[in-house]
Structures are given as C-alpha cells and as structure tokens.
Amino acid sequence: MKTFLAVVRHGSFAAAGSAIGLSAAAVGLQMRALEQSLRQPLFDRGGRSVVLNTSGRRAVARIEDLVLRYEELVGYRDDGALVGTVVMGALVSTLMGAFADALWSLQRENPGLEVKLFAGKSSDFAERVDKGLLDAAIVTCPPHALARSLVWTQLYVEPMVMITPRRPHFELPAEPLHALATAPFIRFDRETWTGLLVNDVLSRSQVEVRDEMELDSVEAILAIVRQGFGVSIVPKLANLRWAADRDLRVLELPGVDVSRRVGLLERSRHTRTRFTGAIKRYFAQAAGGAAARAT
C-alpha cells in the first residue's frame, strides 16, 4: 500500500521505485499483488504507460487512511513517548534559531525518536510536503495561498534587521538609511520567501540599494558582512548572541517593522501528527512562558 501511494505521488513505477529504493519491475510486481489482493485492477496498462483507472483513483483516499492508521499503531507507546522516524525539511537558518532548541528538547525526552533533516528552500519544501516526500517542514510564512491539502502553523517570529560590519572596507555612514543607500548591499536571494521580506523592508525604507552580491544563505551573508564587505537585511535569528558579536552591529531601521514568521508546514492528514503536535505545543508553551515573564 505504501508503494501504491508512492506511485500515486511520483506518477510512474520507475519514479516511485527510484524514490523508495526498488526497481520499476519490483514496483510492478507489488502493484499486481495488491490488485489481486483487492480483486480489482487499479491501473490501466497500455504500451509503455501505466495510469490510475477509476478504481485506483477511488482507492487512494482509503489506502491513505489505512496506512495512516497502521503508522499510528507502529508509533504508539503506552507511556506516550514518541518513537519511529520522522523526515523533515528545515531552512538551515531555522537550525540556528528557535527550532534547534525544540528539536533538541523533543529528542532528549523521546530517545526512541529519530528525526532526519533535509535542508532546502521554503518553496521547494511546500511541494515535497504536499507529495508526501517529507512528513513536515519548517518554513517561513508562505507569500501565497497554499494547496488545500497543506496547513501552515506559526511557531515563532524573527524581526528583520539591518546588519553592518564593525570594521568595514568602505566608508560607512552612521545613519542607518544613509548607510543602506550608499554601502555595498549583500542581498538574500530575491526568489526565496525570505528574499521577498527583504524586498518589503527596502520598499518601506524607500531606499535604493547598491547590490554587491546575492546569496541564498543567512549564514553566508553573516560571514560576508563580518569580513567587512557590505551591509545586509536578515532575520534576527533567535540562537545567535548578537550583542556579543565583535564583528557585527545590528540596527533597526526607523519606521520599518517587518518580521519573518516561521512555522510548521504539514499535510492536513499524515502519519506523524503526534510529532508535529508536540512541536506546536513546545512553541505554544514557550510563548506562554515568555508572556508570563513579560508581565
């Protein structure tokens, strides 16, 4: 049944086999066995093509439900502990932020839990979660409507800030907007969701920047700015000791209030809801604790 769902997601026996480590012939044999077990054909076979027939399309939701129930049984423990393997996507920058603390806490409390992480971009993760290739992903707030099968839940917020080097290789004005307009600008990839937030900050600042280079990594941008080669706009990652950084200054732009909202992306129905529920509870409790300390 899991192989059947892989065929549905990937569109062919060969692509499904490549994803799950089987040959196309082995996938075909499993699909023949499944059809015999269910006493009905699920595919129309003709020439070199194999496509779902009407019975196969009707069976998808029911088989997904059966696999979901099976996975819940496999991952169940009487003591409530999380067990098994979860496959997640995460922006590298979130592993430098609050998500790293949450992951460490959950794995310490649940020694039978294994989390496999894949780094990438938010836009790529959305497609992979929707296809079931990932159980969930930590991504920024989507700038557009998601597929109806997907759900995004906000976990925490990071303000977008300007960073400048303490020892620049160029003349750096003291006033933030003047510095932003005249200094070499190290831009976050404008095609990414975080890059769109940078564009929003620049638009609200009403400043034309001098693009020096464009990178798709917060970590790379931090390294370049630390070495004195430019200024940038980045999310203020939670786990970095910004005040103690001897090579960077963090500045707020006057009249500009833009934040990166980081959240959990998952399908509305999937087999790892206990894990994703634990992630959401961790951040809800953290937010509650922060609110209590503030009062």
Q: Is the pLDDT of residue 76 over 80?
A: no
pLDDT band at 78 (very low <50, low <70, confident <90, very high): low
Q: Which CATH superfamily is domain 157-259 in?
A: Periplasmic binding protein-like II (3.40.190.10)
Residue 204: per-residue pLDDT? 95
**Rounded Cα gap, residues 294 and 167, in angstroms:** 36
pLDDT at 176 over 80: yes
Range(s) for CATH 3.40.190.10 in the chain? 84-155+262-294, 157-259
> What is the pLDDT of the chain when averaged over all its residues?
89
CB 223 within 8 A of CB 96: no
Residue 123 has pLDDT above 90, yes or no: no
| pLDDT number for residue 289 | 67
pTM (2 d.p.):
0.75
**pLDDT grade for 180, boundaries at 50, 70 and 90:** very high
Of 275, 269, 279, 280, give the one whose Cα is nearest residue 68: 269
Chain-centroid distance, C-alpha 262? 9
Amino acid 213: pLDDT: 95
236: nearest Cα among 201, 210, 266 = 201
Q: Which residue has the higher pLDDT, 6 or 288?
A: 6
Q: Band of the pLDDT at 66, cuts 50, 70, 90?
A: confident
In angstroms, the CA 85 to CA 134 distance is: 11
Pick the CATH number of 84-155+262-294 from 2.40.50.140, 3.40.190.10, 3.40.50.300, 3.30.160.150: 3.40.190.10
pLDDT at position 292 is: 61
- Residue 193 vs residues 112, 243, 283: alpha-carbon distances, Å: 34, 27, 22
Q: Does 273 score more than 60 pLDDT?
A: yes
Local confidence band at 293 (pLDDT 50, 70, 90 cut-offs): low
DSSP state of 131: T
Q: CATH 1.10.10.10 spans which residues of the chain?
A: 2-74
Q: Which of 106-120, 167-181, 211-225 has the lowest mean pLDDT?
A: 106-120
pLDDT at residue 68 in the model: 74
Cβ of 178: how many Cβ atoms within 10 Å?
12
Topology annotation, domain 2-74:
Arc Repressor Mutant, subunit A (1.10.10)
Q: Which of 22-31, 70-79, 193-202 has the lowest mean pLDDT?
A: 70-79
Residue 98 pLDDT level (bands cut at 50, 70, 90): confident
| CB 219, CB 92: distance < 8 Å | yes
